[in-house]
């Protein structure tokens, strides 16, 4: 494009999508002009991308030209002048520091600005034009052009227009970077809040309470495996406290100072599993309006708890196996391989052996997850712990609902111990909360499902049945009749 065709140049710049593309396009256009030998852009930044230097300085961001020395590569941005101090007495430092342009019609007549006269002579350089990149009064960088002809007025004005276009592009890019940094900060704040919620949820059943032999056996296994970095497969019925066991393992491990990140595999839509585990790049799919880090990256250095691991789709299991074996993964829509160090604790109430036989779960993944399998006993196998759990849940429920603490009759404790609790500890907690609400500060009384087998009290001839017990028996009888009908 000739010097006079500036509108076409600006249209070409508008088609570029990134700052690097804009700067490269400007310099390539300049390098094609008659008499231009070398064109370069430096931007003011705090950090040098090619060395460990800190502090504001000019950093070379784009370069283009045609050297006489065939061994030279003028497209490189990591050469001798990749960083120029703003206090430099030479022409680039002067332009950036003062915001004033420099035009040298003949370098031979004004060598005070020339750092390497031999290079100027060898390349046949005659003129120089340097313009500051200024946007709203702020100097953002320097556009410099070396010519094998004098820097005439037409060239000078044309370079000025391109410098203005470059300054606007840099300003837009800086604003976009600021917005992206703000978005990243918001994302980190969300992740911080997520981790805080996880901490607050620690011990959602209070803590691991009880001293029954079955529970003590499980806790001994926790102590043994927590000191290692082995993956653990926690088996047990729904509501038995598998997450509490996972938290206990993490808190007793060397990773305790790092996060424990939970993924409920049963609540993730099939098409979002990969994004949830590994994250995604902006634009990877419809709705991916920003970059998002996945749970594995969030748990780096810590522990990842995969609840309901049997729900993971078969097509994703190979990628999960890879990150377990090699610690490597890629985000969705990105080809950058990332490495993490994550310990995995998995939990399920499914029979994974049966899932493997049915072809719904990979055998190699089963072995990788189940380096140390352990069983969480159901509540019916630790009935000795029920009274302590009831009292704990009752205290918590009263504080939660701001109600007076009810009386806890011994007969209700015995009724609770006689019930099988198919929903385990979670069902017990819900039953206690419901009973606290209904008690209204009186006596706590459980309401069991009509199918529950609750032993009736033995009545000796002559005993008087209290009214409350009589009403309870009448209610139970009516419920059984309704169920039968």
The string of DSSP codes covering 245-298 is: HHHHHHHTSTTTTS-EEEEEGGGS-GGGHHHHHHEE-TTSSTT--S-EE-HHHH
The DSSP element (H or E) to which 141 belongs, if any, is strand 138-147
Q: Per-residue pLDDT for 86 more than 90?
A: no
Best-predicted range by mean pLDDT among 36-40, 386-390, 461-465?
Answer: 386-390
Question: What is the residue whose two structure tokens read 């052996």?
Answer: 353
- Is the model more confident about 109 or about 352? 352
Share of the chain above pLDDT 90, in %: 33
Tell me the CATH architecture of domain 6-177. Answer: 2-Layer Sandwich (3.30)
Q: What was the pLDDT predicted at 293?
A: 83
Query: Alpha helix (H) ranges present in 18-148?
Result: 19-31, 91-98, 117-123
- Supply the CATH classification number for the domain 206-377: 3.40.50.300
Give residue limits of the domains in the chain: 6-177, 206-377, 380-484
pLDDT for 50 equals 58
Q: How confident is the model at residue 174 (pLDDT cuts 50, 70, 90)?
A: low
H/E element, 132 = strand 127-135
| Average pLDDT of span 168-181 | 64
- The token pair at 422 is 């198919």
* Lookup: tokens for 67: 């050297």
* Number of other residues whose CB lies within 10 A of the CB of residue 478: 11
pLDDT value, residue 253? 93
What is the DSSP secondary-structure string of 199-227?
HHHTTTTSS-----HHHHHHHHHHHHHHT
| Average pLDDT across the chain, whole number | 82
CA 214 to chain centre: 38
Q: What is the mean pLDDT of residues 419-426?
A: 92
| Rounded CA Rg of the chain | 36
Helix (H, G, I), strand (E, B) or coil at 350: coil
Fold match, 6-177 / 380-484 = no
Residues in the chain: 485
Tokens of residue 162, six digits? 């391109």
Asked if residue 92 lies in contact with residue 57, where contact means CB atoms within 8 angstroms, the answer is: no
Structure confidence by residue, pLDDT tens digits, 379-415: 999 999 999 999 999 999 999 898 889 999 999 999 9
> Taking residues 41-57, what's their average pLDDT?
72
Q: In the predicted model, is pLDDT for residue 231 greater than 90?
A: yes
Residue 135 has pLDDT above 70, yes or no: yes
Tell whether the model's pLDDT for residue 57 goes beyond 60.
Answer: yes
Question: What gap in Å lies between CA 148 and CA 36, rounded to an integer?
Answer: 6
- Structure confidence at residue 218 (pLDDT): 92
Average pLDDT over residues 100-113: 80
pLDDT mean over 454-473: 64
Percent of the chain with pLDDT over 70: 82
pLDDT tens per residue across span 285-305:
777 667 778 899 889 999 999
Q: What is the pLDDT averaged over residues 443-465?
A: 63
End-to-end Cα separation, the chain, in angstroms? 92
C-alpha distances out from residue 336 to 144, 258, 318, 329, 411, Å: 35, 24, 18, 8, 63
What's the pLDDT tens digit per position in 143-159?
A: 889 989 887 777 787 78
CB-based contact 448:419 (threshold 8 Å): yes
CATH 1.10.3720.10 fits 380-484, yes or no: no
Nearest of 210, 231, 222 to residue 251 by alpha carbon: 222
């Amino acid at each position: 494009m000739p010097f006079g065709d500036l509108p076409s140049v600006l249209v070409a710049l508008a088609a570029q999508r990134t700052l690097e593309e804009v700067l490269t396009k400007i310099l390539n256009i300049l390098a094609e002009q008659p008499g231009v030998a070398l064109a370069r852009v430096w931007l003011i930044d705090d950090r040098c991308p090619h060395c460990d230097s800190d502090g504001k300085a000019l950093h070379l961001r784009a370069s283009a030209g045609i050297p006489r020395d065939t061994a030279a590569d003028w497209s490189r941005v990591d050469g001798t002048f990749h960083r120029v101090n703003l206090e430099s007495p030479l022409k680039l430092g002067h332009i950036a520091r003062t915001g004033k342009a420099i035009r040298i019609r003949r370098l031979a007549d004004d060598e005070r600005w020339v750092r390497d006269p031999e290079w100027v002579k060898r390349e046949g350089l005659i003129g120089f034009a340097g313009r500051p990149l200024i946007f709203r009064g702020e100097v953002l960088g320097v556009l410099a052009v070396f010519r094998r002809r004098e820097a005439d007025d037409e060239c000078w004005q044309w370079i000025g227009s391109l410098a203005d276009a470059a300054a606007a592009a840099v300003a837009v890019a800086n604003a976009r970077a600021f917005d992206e940094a703000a978005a990243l900060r918001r994302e980190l704040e969300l992740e911080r809040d997520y981790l805080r919620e996880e901490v607050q949820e620690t011990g959602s059943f209070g803590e691991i309470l009880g001293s029954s032999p079955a529970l003590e056996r499980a806790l001994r296994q926790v102590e043994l495996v927590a000191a290692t970095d082995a993956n653990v497969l926690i088996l047990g019925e729904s509501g038995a406290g598998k997450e509490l066991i996972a938290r206990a393992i993490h808190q007793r491990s060397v990773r305790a100072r790092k996060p424990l990140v939970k993924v409920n595999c049963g609540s993730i839509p099939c098409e979002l599993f990969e994004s949830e585990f590994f994250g995604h790049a902006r634009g990877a799919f419809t709705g991916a309006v920003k970059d998002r880090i996945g749970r594995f990256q969030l748990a780096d250095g810590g522990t990842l708890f995969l609840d309901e691991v049997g729900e993971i789709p078969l097509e994703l299991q190979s990628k999960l196996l890879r990150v377990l074996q090699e610690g490597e993964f890629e985000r969705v829509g990105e080809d950058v391989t990332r490495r993490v160090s994550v310990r995995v604790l998995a939990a399920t109430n499914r029979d994974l052996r049966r899932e493997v036989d049915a072809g719904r779960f990979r055998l190699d993944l089963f072995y990788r997850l189940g380096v140390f399998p352990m069983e969480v006993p159901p509540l019916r196998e630790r009935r000795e712990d029920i009274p302590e759990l009831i009292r704990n849940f009752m205290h918590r429920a009263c504080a939660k609902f701001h109600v007076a603490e009810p009386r806890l009759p011994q007969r209700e404790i015995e009724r609770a111990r006689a019930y099988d609790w198919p929903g385990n500890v979670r069902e017990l907690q819900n039953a206690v909360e419901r009973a606290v609400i209904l008690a209204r500060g009186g006596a706590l009384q459980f309401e069991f499902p009509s199918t529950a087998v609750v032993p009736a009290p033995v009545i000796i001839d002559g005993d008087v049945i209290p009214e409350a017990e009589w009403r309870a028996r009448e209610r139970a009888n009516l419920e059984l009749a309704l169920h039968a009908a």
